Amino acid sequence: MSKLVKIFDKYLYPDFQDNWDNNFLRDRVIKYMRPNNKILDLGAGAGIVEQLNFKGLASCICGVDIDTRVLDNPYLDEAKVGRAESIPYEDNSFDIVISINVLEHLSDPEKIFKEVHRILKKDGVFIVKTPNKYHYVKILASLTPHWFHLYYNRIRRRTEKNTFPTLYKANSKKKIIYYGESTGFKVESIEIIEGRPEYLRISWPTYLLGTIYEKIVNSTEFLHHFRVVILACLRKK
């Protein structure tokens, strides 16, 4: 990363730190969390997102992922290898289910929404962070092969182990409302947020282009559908 990019960070986005989107998610989770809650991180992975470390803030933090690295996740009290289509927990087990950057990989979103609804207690909350498919990054990702995603993430210093094929079947406000309401959830809130242009911080010219885009889509609520991150909170009826 060039010195100029770091200067842009300091002066253009002083309130946005690295992983700013995960900080937003953490704030939403803490808003709903209670000390006696049992929480599931669906797609917990190896524990590389420190904002998902809720140990000690709730009675039990569980995690499920298809990757066996979840068994070494330091943020979890209990870890299981499993698929989102068949979550290895009984009905009405959790107060909160968290899903971070998972929806974009799902081939059958409705099935996963039903599974989350099943394992949540009555009035339990499903909190989702996922990329918006109408953002320019996701449009380009949809038009490019997986090998290009691997290459681009190497430029951004992300490992291949954390780069997965994307489908974007549930990655819009409309789709989240549809899948949520059709599987028994009440949609409490959906935010679509644009912040520091993370994907274009690879050089100062691309950074400036991303900044111009950010200023435009944040200038009016009419353009909120084109912002990058979707944060949704759904409650089990």
pTM: 0.88
Kind and range of the H or E run holding 26: helix 20-32
Using alpha carbons, select from 144, 133, 203 the residue that is nearest to residue 175.
Answer: 133
CA–CA gap between residue 138 and residue 169 (Å, rounded)? 12
Can you give the pLDDT of all 237 residues of the chain as single tens digits?
Answer: 688 999 999 999 999 988 999 999 999 999 999 999 999 999 999 999 999 999 999 999 999 999 999 999 999 999 999 999 999 999 999 999 999 999 998 999 999 999 999 999 999 999 999 999 999 988 877 766 656 555 555 655 555 455 557 889 999 999 999 999 999 999 999 999 999 999 899 889 999 999 999 999 999 999 999 999 999 999 999
| pLDDT given at position 223 | 97
Write down the CATH number for the domain with range 3-236.
3.40.50.150
